[in-house]
Amino acid sequence: MRDKIKSKQYFDEFIREDHTRILNLSKKIEEGKIQEARIVPVKQGIFQIKLGIIIAKYSRGDSIQDLELSFVPIYKEWIKTFFSPEVYNENLKMISLAVLFNMEPDFLLLAKKKLIENHIDDWLYNFLLNEKQNESGFLFPKRFRIFKEIAESVNKIELLKKYLKGWYNTDCEVFEAHKSDQKIYYGYWSFEAGAAVKILGIDDSGLKDIPYYPYDLVHYKE
């Protein structure tokens, strides 16, 4: 177990129920029970469920190698169909996980091409994809702007500690998900912080025990 909030049983049930949701939604699409105008949003929902399952499996303690195998087809699906400039956090998770799984350069190139096709010029996306940042701006939200400061600072670790310690707050998209009566909690992880550390190549031993930091994922394939 990597997560410290919920039990293995919770994640087992979460994953099982979400797999059932995927099967049911996919069946409805195949049987023509979804209105034409709703097919794309429903498929988008299925993709989001799949991503949530991968994060839940990480929280449960599954092997990173197995998670990578599950992530690759979802990444391809995301690039082909669901890369949306309107969904900043979702795109950030996908790019960060691609970096953490050490995906081949060709895979990252697909994301770079999507940014260009969609006229997306965001400093953090470009940084994580090892693209030139130049005068790239930030799309949103503001809380991620500290990464530019981290990249340029000599006190990178201290700034990362500050970011991680304040990561869980009301601006967090999954804030208080663990308190819900519904199984919507898949874990609190700052994959973007881990990806930044991997790219910057800094000693993160001081971050190992900070909640939300995916330490073992950062060191995958080293």
The pLDDT assigned to 191 comes to 98
- Segments of the chain scoring below 70 in pLDDT: 132-141
Can you read off the two tokens belonging to residue 72? 């690759």
Residue 27, CA distances (Å) to 24, 50, 89, 118, 126 in order: 5, 16, 28, 31, 38
19 CB neighbour count, 10 Å cutoff: 13
| Interatomic CA distance for residues 99 and 108, integer angstroms | 8
Tell me what the pLDDT averaged over the chain comes to. 91
In 3D space, the residue among 93, 83, 144, 142 whose CA is nearest the CA of residue 115 turns out to be 83
Give the angle subtended at the CA of 120 by the CAs of 119 and 125, to the nearest 5°: 150
Q: Spell out where the chain has E strands.
A: none
For the chain, the structural domain boundaries read: 8-218
The pLDDT assigned to 64 comes to 98
The pLDDT assigned to 141 comes to 64
The pLDDT assigned to 81 comes to 80
CA dihedral 157, 125, 127, 155 (to 10 degrees): -20
